[in-house]
Amino acid sequence: RIVYVNGDYVPEADATVSVFDRGFLMADGVYEVTSVLGGKLIDFDGHAVRLKRSLDALDMAEPMSKDALLEIHRELVIRNDLTDGMIYLQVTRGAPADRDFAFPGPDVAPTVVLFTQSKPGMAEAPAAKTGISVISIPDIRWGRRDIKTVQLLYPSMGKMMAKAAGADDAWMVEDGFVTEGTSNNAYIVKGDKIITRGLSTDILHGITRAAVLRFAREAQMQVEERNFTIEEAQDADEAFITSASTFVMPVVEIDGAAVGAGTPGRVAKRLREIYLEESR
């Protein structure tokens, strides 16, 4: 695999980053995951805009223009012969001469790393046909979940708690309401209404979420952006998640209780179709 590190395209075994990098020592960095289908980047613009938003929120300078970033994404698709999969992008505050809590000065350049992950046939994931199961766990993350930082320890632990419970993923709950999944946004469907938590600093503003809600509204479906509980979700007709890596994925079981008929719902299936059709 050819990866990008600070201006160079190198074989992954030759890619290096300093041990003093603040991404490594302090999780002082942000990231984006952009999916690729049939060699085409999905929603690159949305990811580029959110990257800038994350960088701004952390007082980090943009390492390069959006066009330059796009060029690197395209180059990696070509160099790795990537058909279906993802491109991971990470920008950290770079590597000062020593470990220090204070941010380094402008002389320290950010570290920019991009790599590809091949996932042949990802749009036809078998899980989309069966649906996935989730458990609920408390949301104990920090208060700026709208910034896409690389602080992913708790979401990783959540994924392990789900596995240990025989489930596929976890939905996080704060003050009695679902915030989001470990690495995706959460939705329920009641009748013809699609319900998902509104945007705030409590959740990541998903790029797939924005696209799916737009397509839903264009298809005259009703969307309600509001909080919901696990009990309401278990009692809903359908549930699903969205993210750049799963697109729209039906959720058929929550904390052991079947949602609706316990099979992927009509609305989730339709939204997945529309999303894949419109983005490809």
Stretch that binds ligand PDD, among 16-24, 97-105, 127-135, 179-187 (CB under 6 A): 179-187
Asked if 54 is part of the footprint of ligand PDD (rule: CB under 6 A), the reply reads no
How far apart (Å, rounded) are the C-alpha atoms in residues 127 and 88? Answer: 22
Residues identified as active-site: 148
For ligand PDD, the binding residue among 90, 92, 208, 234 (CB under 6 A) is 208
Which one, 14 or 56, has the nearer CB to ligand PDD?
A: 56
Question: Site map for ligand PDD, 214-253, x if CB under 6 A?
Answer: ----------------------------xxxx--------
First to last CA, the chain: 24
Asked if 183 is part of the footprint of ligand PDD (rule: CB under 6 A), the reply reads yes
Asked if 180 is part of the footprint of ligand PDD (rule: CB under 6 A), the reply reads yes
For ligand PDD, the binding residue among 170, 207, 236, 268 (CB under 6 A) is 207
Side chain identity at residue 142, one-letter code: W
Helices (H) and strands (E) in the chain, counts: 8, 15
253 pairs with which residues across the strands?
133, 258
Asked if 269 is part of the footprint of ligand PDD (rule: CB under 6 A), the reply reads no
Structure tokens belonging to residue 234: 């278990």
The residues, any chain, with a CB within 8 Å of residue 191's CB and separated by 6 or more, are: 237
Stretch that binds ligand PDD, among 156-164, 190-198, 201-209, 250-258 (CB under 6 A): 201-209
Stretch that binds ligand PDD, among 9-17, 56-64, 205-213, 259-267 (CB under 6 A): 205-213
Strand order in the sheet with 29-37: 8-11, 2-5, 111-118, 85-92, 29-37, 40-41
Label residue 196 exposed, middle or buried (CB < 10 Å: 0-12, 13-18, 19+).
buried
Asked if 137 is part of the footprint of ligand PDD (rule: CB under 6 A), the reply reads no
* Residues contributing to the site for ligand PDD (CB under 6 A): 33, 180, 183-185, 204, 206-209, 242-245
